[in-house]
Amino acid sequence: MSAPPQEEGAPIEDRRQLVEHLESGCKPREAWRIGTEHEKFAFTWDDLKPLPYEGERSIRRLLERLAEDFGWQPVFEDGRPLALLKEGCSITLEPGGQFELSGAPLETLHQTCDEVHTHLAQVKQVCEPLGIGMLGVGFAPTWTRADVQEMPKARSAIMRAYMPKVGSLGLDMMHRTCTVQVNLDFADERDMVRKFRTSLALQPVATALFANSPFTEGRPNGFLSYRSHIWTDTDPDRCGILPFVFEPGMGFERYVEHVLDVPMYFVYRNGRYIDAAGQSFRDFLEGRLPALPGEKPLISDWADHLTTLFPEVRLKKYLEMRGADGGPWNRLCALPALWVGLLYDEASLAACEDIVAGWTPEDHAFLRNEVPRRALSTPFRGRPLIDLAREIVALAEDGLRRRAKAGRVSPDETEYLSVLQEEAVQTGRTPAEGLLEAYTDDLPALFRECAY
């Protein structure tokens, strides 16, 4: 969830400006970067409950201590610190207080993993004296929705009021889920389309490999990635498979047309979020938005609106891979490693394109619906999904090896895929299945053993 936005640009006069905003993300290969984001649940050790916003042991106190001890710059809303900024990174809050690092755009996975380790070390140094822990899983394993305090964010309040009108699980998505994602670049429109199609088709494989949310309110929920299932009943207007991405004519302009048909949430003006939930950006372009009659959008309004779509892969000035559950520290590095190896290497990208080329809309829908429950054991085209996952991880490893980005002691970045090779690829088991086996009868032990 982003920090409060800025109002930028003159009023939009031509729809072409919306397309140009996306096109401005095109970069030459040497400028491609890796941006990793990950969320975790903050809790108090003595009772394993989620942190409130205010108090001696609170989200606010964590933000203040990180700013004081490590030089982060606080960002305020209505006088309250709700985000931190530093050197191209941000720390933000999801609506239920999930603590998120949005990393800087970095050149190598070695830098990404250093950034993850530095962040977790800083958070741990601040948390330990306060008796606070951080847990990396895809869904809060024991908390009810009532246990989770709502963060005092105006944007979240607008979403909170709108969500129950369009789906039954949107409030759970907002308050009880955590993810890890990676943001990647493209060279031009053709490259964007290739990467969008390939990553959207293969997103269920990532969901399966990183499935890590098998508990709800202290009991097994029947899913391996309940977080992924939640998105299927959050908001049909802004979630889903996006079949048009696989159709002829896909490009920046086609995506713009899709985004224009997604109802708005808000407009940001003079430091305030104005409720425009359910209203049309098309009307906004014509100066007919009920929330701001007579006004036309700024390019910053368009950028904000792009952030309110939630498909498995999201296009902004880069592509966001959004299919994975939150998890332990080593998987925070593995997720970007998987997608960098597949999408930033031409041979691996071409091989993936060949794999998914014959998939039908029914194939995409089947994987999206079945993988949250069955993960790597999902039957697909005559074989279990684990077979495809092994092939995909091998292609990612090949791609990282060809990138040959050396670290301090490593000739390349393949080391960050080792956790997938050693756990999921060799055993066919997901993190969720390990949690079910170890902690079904002792969920407090899950907090003790799985906290960062």
Look at residue 192 and tell me whether its pLDDT is greater than 80: yes
Task: Convert 246-261 to b/e letters by CB count within 10 Å (16 or more is b).
Answer: beeebebeebbebbbe
Rg of the chain on CA atoms, in Å? 21
Considering Cα of 41, then 44, then 50, then 51, what sign does the dihedral take? negative
Instruction: Give the model's pLDDT for residue 7.
Output: 67
Q: Distance between CA 417 and CA 205 in Å, rounded? A: 14
User: Tell me: the pLDDT tens digits for 160-177?
Assistant: 999 999 999 999 999 999
Give pLDDT tens digits for 371-429.
Answer: 999 999 999 999 999 999 999 999 999 999 999 999 999 999 999 999 999 999 999 99
Query: Percentage helix, strand, coil, to 5, in the chain?
Result: 50, 15, 35
Close Cβ partners of 442 (under 8 Å, ≥ 6 residues apart): none
- Spatial CA neighbour of 277 closest among 285, 266, 293, 261: 266
* Separation of alpha carbons 368 and 240, rounded Å: 8
Which residues, other chains included, contact 1 with Cβ-Cβ below 8 Å and sequence gap of 6+?
92, 93, 94, 95, 100, 153, 155, 156
pLDDT digits (tens, 9 = 90+) for 91-114: 999 999 999 999 999 999 999 999
pLDDT at 1 over 60: no
| Cα gap 215→423, rounded to integer Å | 20
State the amino acid at position 215 in one-letter form.
F
Confidence of residue 330 (pLDDT cuts 50, 70, 90): confident
Name the E strands within 310-441: 313-315, 319-325, 379-380, 383-384
C-alpha to C-alpha distance for 231 and 236, rounded to whole angstroms: 9
251-288 tens-digit pLDDT = 999 999 999 999 999 999 999 999 999 999 999 999 99
Query: What DSSP assignment string belongs to 43-95?
Result: EETTTTEEPPSSSSSSHHHHHHHHHHHH-PEEEEETTEEEEEEETTEEEEE-T
Alpha carbon 113 to chain centroid, angstroms? 17
Q: What is the mean pLDDT of residues 333-350?
A: 98
Q: Residue 365: what pLDDT? A: 97
**Which residues pair with residue 139 across a beta bridge?**
177
pLDDT at position 2 is 53
Give, for 36, the enclosing helix (H) or strand (E): strand 34-44
The residues facing 83 across adjacent strands are 75, 92
Beta bridge partners of 213: 225
Amino acid of residue 21: H
Distances in whole angstroms, Cα of residue 422 to Cα of each of 418, 419, 425, 426, 429: 6, 5, 6, 6, 10
Cα–Cα distance measured from residue 126 to residue 71, given in angstroms and rounded to the nearest whole number? 13
Residue burial 385-419, b: 16+ Cβ < 10 Å; e: rest: bbebbbebbbbbbbbbbebebebeeeebbbbbbeb
Interatomic CA distance for residues 33 and 30, integer angstroms: 9
Query: Quick one: tokens of 227?
Result: 């977080």
Q: Which phi and psi angles does 410 have, rounded to 5°?
A: -115, 140
Distance CA(363)–CA(206), nearest Å, equals 16
Q: Examine the pLDDT at 187 and tell me if it is beyond 60.
A: yes
Could you tell me the domains of the chain? 16-445 (3.30.590.20)
**For residue 255, what are the contacts with CB-CB under 8 A and spacing of at least 6?**
22, 315
pLDDT for position 5: 67
Query: How much is the pLDDT for 46?
Result: 97
Residue 10's pLDDT band (cuts 50, 70, 90): confident
